[in-house]
Amino acid sequence: MDRKQFLALYERGKTGEKVDKNDWDVDYIVENVMDLVEEYDFDWDREELIPEDSELFANMFQAAKELLIRTGIYNMSTGRIMKLSEEEIDEGLRNMKTELTMGEGKDAFTLVARRVEDERPPAIWAGNPGCPTPERLYYPIIESVAKEPVIDLLTCGSLVDVDGYPVQNGEPSEVFAVRKEMEYLHKALNKVGRPGLGLLAAESAVTEIGDIAAVSERWLRPCDSHLVALFNELIMDNGNLVRAASSLDYGMKNASLACTMVGGLGGDAPGSCMIMIASIMAANLFAAADYHLCHPIHITDVATTARGCLWLQSVLCQTFAEHAPAIIVCDLWPTSGSMTKELLYEVAANSIVVTVSGGHLEGIGAANGRVPHGTGLECRLMGEVGKAVARMKMTRSEANRIVLQLLDKYEHAFRMEGGNPGRPFDEAYDMETITPVPAWQQMYDEVVEDLRNMGLAL
């Protein structure tokens, strides 16, 4: 997309129909989604989290396009609707990248549009994405992930303090936090001997001010990527449009991000899946997206490992694989944290669903990404499981059988009083050697043995 095309899209946020936000949510989202769910008779089976229904995928693709035509995208900054024609949506779909090289030199990695039950391994994009993290733990967590040989690309959490001061949105501290984040990322890559590894970063940037502060070959290079988010549901603002525009001449990659709420305005998993697919269709244009992040949030369970979220990620990946091949990267945000077996079972289940359905893997946002209780060890498991599923040529029915067994081992965590956040990084890892403490390593080894007994060739 060139500047002229993008500016023409941006102008729609100044000239489109003026609508109140509450009216948008009810009249445009809820009513249209409910009508389309009824029209297409969408439903889902809680025991079949990896469907094999090509008619479902075709109908979901068409319904999502119809939804986007009816609604457009709401610009929250101006209170106006930015409409798209079917021809524009189709052009955006045709122009989606099916190959994208991230990183540079010997560490460059090429993402591809994966197929359903693809033998090509998923990308392992590892870190603790977006997790609010104090500076004292920030670098050790990054190093614990970067040193894992199984990873292909690196991401990170967001700093909550810098040089002893709390980070405030839109203030100098946000600028300093983003640049400190980049300093830590490059330090870790250099230490593990992979300086050219591609990044998804500037996670400490809540506003466009922080995001733009990272745009430099010293920080976020043209071979790296940043987030351009859509809000719930089918909403953008001028700040994220600025983020998208920032990369167009520079060359940095735009990662669209939609966090559709399962059980929210779109209703249960089918309606929410429709919204997420429509969000990606819109992001091809308004986010000038180079690839897409799929991050459903369950209204009560939050985690991507809830059944409705697993079903959504599977159907979305398969829908694009069959009807509009694209690079889809699925976030993994389990409800459990480090030093719990439940975290590892959640990671295994989510990795299996995404891999066999045609997606790539990104995470881990342990403990729902709320606290810095993530480590490199569960990222290792994400990589090992994802690559094993592809290597084994696992079928969807085989994958579904294993995932149902895994749900039995972690679903109780959604109902635990106070959640299941586990322990902070400095209790799960030796801070001198940046290696798992014996108890955490033992849990990992025991879960790996369980997975092997279930049929995973790890």
Q: What's the pLDDT score for residue 102?
A: 98
The answer to the question of residue 321 being in a domain is yes
Q: What's the pLDDT score for residue 380?
A: 98
Q: Report CA 390 to chain centroid distance, whole Å.
A: 20
Tokens found for residue 91:
């052009």
Q: What's the pLDDT score for residue 249?
A: 86
The answer to the question of residue 341 being in a domain is yes
The answer to the question of residue 25 being in a domain is no
The answer to the question of residue 40 being in a domain is no
Tokens found for residue 56:
């479902």
The answer to the question of residue 336 being in a domain is yes
Residue 146 makes CB contacts below 8 A (sequence gap 6+) with 154, 188, 189, 191, 192, 194, 197, 376
| Cβ atoms of 100 and 291 closer than 8 Å | yes
Residue 30, burial from CB neighbour count under 10 angstroms (0-12, 13-18, 19+)? middle
Alpha-carbon distance of 281 to 70, in angstroms, equals 13
- Candidates 422, 409, 413; CA nearest to 303 is 413
Q: Would you write out the chain's pLDDT as a tens digit for each of its 458 residues?
A: 889 999 999 999 999 999 999 999 999 999 999 999 999 999 999 999 999 999 999 999 999 999 999 999 999 999 999 999 999 999 999 999 999 999 999 999 999 999 999 999 999 999 999 899 999 999 999 999 999 999 999 999 999 999 999 999 999 999 999 999 999 999 999 999 999 999 999 999 999 999 999 999 999 999 999 999 999 999 999 999 999 999 998 999 999 999 999 999 999 999 999 999 999 999 999 999 999 999 999 999 999 999 999 999 999 999 999 999 999 999 999 999 999 999 999 999 999 999 999 999 999 999 999 999 999 999 999 999 999 999 999 999 999 999 999 999 999 999 999 999 999 999 999 999 999 999 999 999 999 999 999 999 99
Alpha-carbon distance of 145 to 136, in angstroms, equals 16
For residue 297, give its domain range.
99-454
Q: What's the pLDDT score for residue 1?
A: 87
Looking at residue 267, the DSSP 8-state letter turns out to be: B
Alpha-carbon distance of 260 to 322, in angstroms, equals 22
Number of independent structural domains in the chain:
1
The answer to the question of residue 316 being in a domain is yes
- DSSP string covering 382-433: HHHHHHHHHHTT--HHHHHHHHHHHHHHHGGGGGSTT-B----HHHHEETTT
Please report, for the domain that includes residue 132, its CATH number: 3.20.20.460
The answer to the question of residue 3 being in a domain is no
The answer to the question of residue 334 being in a domain is yes
